[in-house]
Amino acid sequence: MGREICIIHKLRCGHCKNLAPEYEKAASVLSSHDPPIVLAKIDASDEANKGLAMEYQLQGFPTIKILRDGAKKVQEYNGPREADGIVAYLKKQAGPASPEIKSKEDAARLIDEKKITVVGVFPELSGEKFEKFITLAEKLRADYDFAHTLDAKLLPRGKPVDKPTIRLLKPFDELFVDFENFDVDAAEKFIADASVPIVTIFDKDPENQVYVGKFFNGPNAKALLFVNFSTELDAFQSKYKDVAVLYKDDGLSFLLGDVEAGAGAFNYFGLKPEQAPLIIIMVNEDHKYLHAHVKPDVLASWLKDYKDGKLKPFIKSEPIPEVNNEPVKVVVRDTLKDLVLNSGKNVLLEFYAPWCGHCKALAPILDEVALSFEKDSDVLIAKLDATANDIPKGEFDIKGFPTVYFKSASGNLSQYNGDRTKEAIIEFIEKNRDKPAAQSESVKADSTKPESVTTDSAKDEL
């Protein structure tokens, strides 16, 4: 058996059902390949197959794996999901990880000018460095095209070399870059770093999507500049690239996006296209900086202020409601501290997502709970849209929706994991509530009054 391609799916998964007929067509074509390429499928919802999900660390369905050498080698399938694309991709995967370039015709056939190709140049096709290159090609063949040659003059770019060299050919920036360290881990890092443009272009061109994916999956902090490509690109592009060249070795990656193509990014950051041109630096989900209506000449100084630690972090928050008179009060990021954390009240706070069915089912129950405490000024029932507001991770741990926390008046914070019924929630609040901080201080102050005052008061009452 040459190669075995395995799809792990779930019967009720919509994406799995869409893939199934294409997968079947591809299996029919590839069964006659020499050697045969076997396509198999496993239902992960079957109890007997549950162990596979853990073994392969599955994150979603359908997942496609390429199994080689009796499943001793496992690779992710990163190809198309329609029959013709699956066939073409797997035929290529079934061949050698790194074919040899012996002529200009071979180079033209194996090197796609619009893609990244990693070529090993060797004085002889043997030895430790050559073997390491083949190991590298086997490891990364699902992500990059590989080839090797004895003659660098056959390649479309770069000068001849007289020592073993890894030459990465790419359709952007300097168009090729050489590397002489054949340690597999070092070479893999070189390829990963060199295959990301100095400035990644984010538009509707499908050729750019692979680089956008690499940009967002990379470990660096990320600078994202969004402008209108039809009217503003020329004014920003060269100045932004100058800044990127200056800071690209400082743990920062750069993306230039078209406002029209970046709708998803705007939604993620809680921004509006009218704020463009805008630049965002995202260190991580909890650490971001923003400059809206930015001018081209300001980019360099703003990036310098970021590096010097002079910028104020950007925190995503919905607008503060002008009217907030429903039984369950609306909390946004900008009011979280005042209405919840420092309120001195007992607060039950739901973190929800507008699309969440369980959240919608809980909503009327929380309304009833809020009405039950309507005349109790020491208790507040509230909700916060966790998709539209940044959540301070040090205080709350949100892993799903709805997530409900309770903060007592004295500041004790706990997560509610009880039944989602009016009675259970009210019982939990009554059990965990305490006096407001202001009232507690008042009681404490009364207890420090001189005994004579208390005695006199008692006598007066008698």
C-beta of residue 169 within 8 angstroms of C-beta of residue 176: yes
Cα separation values, 161 from 122, 165, 288, 431, Å: 9, 7, 45, 77
**Structure-token pair, residue 148:** 């090797």
Question: Which one from 42, 356, 388, 424 is the annotated catalytic residue?
Answer: 356
Listed in sequence order, the residues at least 6 apart from 354 whose beta carbon sits closer than 8 Å to its beta carbon are 385, 387
6 catalytic, yes or no?
no
Decide: 389 and 398 in contact? Cβ < 8 Å.
no
How would you write the chain as a 3-class SS string? Answer: CCEEEEEEECCCCHHHHHHHHHHHHHHHHHCCCCCCEEEEEEECCCHHHHHHHHHCCCCCCCEEEEEECCCCEEEECCCCCCHHHHHHHHHHHHCCCCCEECCHHHHHHHCCCCCCEEEEECCCCCCHHHHHHHHHHHHHCCCCEEEEECCHHHCCCCCCCCCCEEEEECCCCCCEEEECCCCHHHHHHHHHHHCCCCEEEECCCHHHHHHHHHHHHCCCEEEEEEECCCCCHHHHHHHHHHHHHHHCCCCEEEEEEECCCCHHHHHHHCCCHHHCCEEEEEEECCEEEEEECCCHHHHHHHHHHHHCCCCCCECCCCCCCCCCCCCCEECCHHHHHHHHHCCCCEEEEEEECCCCHHHHHHHHHHHHHHHHCCCCCCEEEEEEECCCCCCCCCCCCCCCCCEEEEECCCCCEEEECCCCCHHHHHHHHHHHCCCCHHHHHHHHHHCCCCHHHHHHHHHHHC
Distance in Å from the first CA to the final CA of the chain:
101
Q: What interhelical angle do 184-194 and 128-140 show, nearest 10?
A: 50
Residue in 90, 359, 370, 381 annotated catalytic: 359
Q: Of 5, 8, 16, 66, which one is the catalytic site residue?
A: 16
73-76 vs 117-121, strand pairing mode: unpaired
Annotated active-site positions, please? 13, 16, 356, 359
